[in-house]
Amino acid sequence: MPASMDSMRRSSVRFLIGLLLIRFYWCSGVGDEGAAFPVVVSTWPFREAVRAAWRVVSASEGGGSAIDAVVAGCSACEELRCDGTVGPGGSPDENGETTLDALVMNGATMEIGAVAAMRYVRDGIKAAKLVMEHTEHTLLVGEKATAFAISMGLPGPTNLSSPESIEKWEKWRQNYCQPNFWKNVVPVGECGPYRPINLASVEVEDSVKNEVDGNQDGLCQGYYESDNLLEPIKSYSKIVNRHNHDTISMAVIDKMGHIAVGTSTNGATFKIPGRVGDGPIPGASSYGDDEVGACGATGDGDIMMRFLPW
């Protein structure tokens, strides 16, 4: 092997080891003597969210808990609709509807609360905290998550769409629902309904329609009308940048050295309705443990869930 090539490979290995050590020290070290607590860390430059969490955790009268700080920080991002990817009013799905995913985790007790594909309630992170505090479950989804959140005192039901999100959706529809998240289906380059390649369209649609009608007693009437907002429409190119990362992930260490993490998102833009991303999945979006540390990330949630990178 040429000396220059060997030197380059050694340099690459040292660089990789350095990155791993940086990640290790960022993710650990809780409880070391002399450690400076509290700490608030957030993905992306969501400064107002960090400030909201800091105000809670650094209060002069003892300071608030890490959990309360995470909820305050993520709530601020939901209210501000950070980058249009957090809270109501952004990231419409294929039906033009905005839904929410959120998670909160207590690193002292390892308790987790989460909601996914939640409709009609604006406070995703608060709903997740209610799941953690008042149930023995980890994750509630869809309209049942909505009903739970409202029964526990959160405001709703309310429309989570905004003029901006609807305008974005309408332009996408005018572009033949491209790009979208479908694969191995027809029609290609158009709006749905879609079917698997080589499967008879009429047979599939009639079969599904009969099954829906038979089980729902007509409640889903109009689902197949072409001008219905609930029409299946939909495939998506995955270009990740600061405007489509789809979540805030936050980690807090309070004055007692306890850790909490949280995530909140309105999900991937033009996602297939019912899709759940990494946001409410422990270990995919964020994870915290008092004995180890905390990590969080944003990105392609469907990939991150396959590897649970933390």
Mean pLDDT of 126-151: 98
On whether 299 is known to bind a ligand per the annotation, the reply is yes
Catalytic residues: 247
Where does the pLDDT of residue 4 fall: very low under 50, low under 70, confident under 90, or very high at 90 and above? Answer: very low
Domain that holds residue 96: 39-168+246-307
Per-residue confidence at 224, pLDDT binned at 50, 70, 90? very low
Residue 302 assigned to a binding site: no
For residue 186, being part of any structural domain is answered with: no
Q: Tell me how far apart the alpha carbons of residues 64 and 55 are, in angstroms, rounded to a whole number.
A: 9
**Residue 298 assigned as binding residue:** yes
Say if strands 100-106 and 185-186 run parallel, antiparallel, or are unpaired: unpaired
Q: What are the pLDDT digits (tens) for 46-66?
A: 999 999 999 999 987 778 999
pLDDT of 145 higher than 80: yes
Determine whether the annotation assigns residue 124 to a binding site.
no
> How would residue 307 be classed by pLDDT, with cut points 50, 70 and 90?
confident
Question: Does residue 202 lie within any of the structural domains?
Answer: no
User: Do 160 and 97 form a contact (C-beta atoms < 8 A)?
Assistant: yes
**Residue 14 pLDDT greater than 70, yes or no:** no
| Domain count along the chain | 1
Quote the tokens at residue 247. 């979540």
- For residue range 228-240, list pLDDT tens digits in order: 333 333 334 455 5
The residue-averaged pLDDT of 69-94 equals 95
What was the pLDDT predicted at 303? 87
In a domain, 16, yes or no: no
Whether the per-residue pLDDT at 220 is higher than 60: the answer is no
Q: Is 14 annotated as a binding residue?
A: no
Give the single-character DSSP code of 84: G
- Residue 191 is assigned to a structural domain of this protein: no
Residue 15 CB burial class (10 angstroms; 0-12, 13-18, ≥19): exposed
Q: Per residue in 164-205, pLDDT tens?
A: 999 999 999 999 999 999 999 999 999 999 999 987 555 555
Mean pLDDT on 71-98: 95
Any domain includes 55: yes
Q: CA 289 to CA 297: how far, in whole Å?
A: 16
* C-alpha–C-alpha distance, residues 99 and 75, integer Å: 15
Give, as one character, the DSSP assignment of residue 282. B
97 in a domain, yes or no? yes
Convert 109-139 into a string of H (helix), E (strand) and C (coil). Answer: CCCEEEEEEECCCCCHHHHHHHHHHHCCCCE
pLDDT of residue 36: 73
Q: Is there a domain that residue 78 lies in?
A: yes
Tokens of 31: 């409880």
Whether 48 is covered by a domain: the verdict is: yes
Closest Cα to residue 113, out of 122, 123, 103? 103
Q: What is the pTM of this model?
A: 0.76
DSSP state of 272: P
| pLDDT (mean) for 134-151 | 98
115-124 residue pLDDT tens? 999 999 999 9
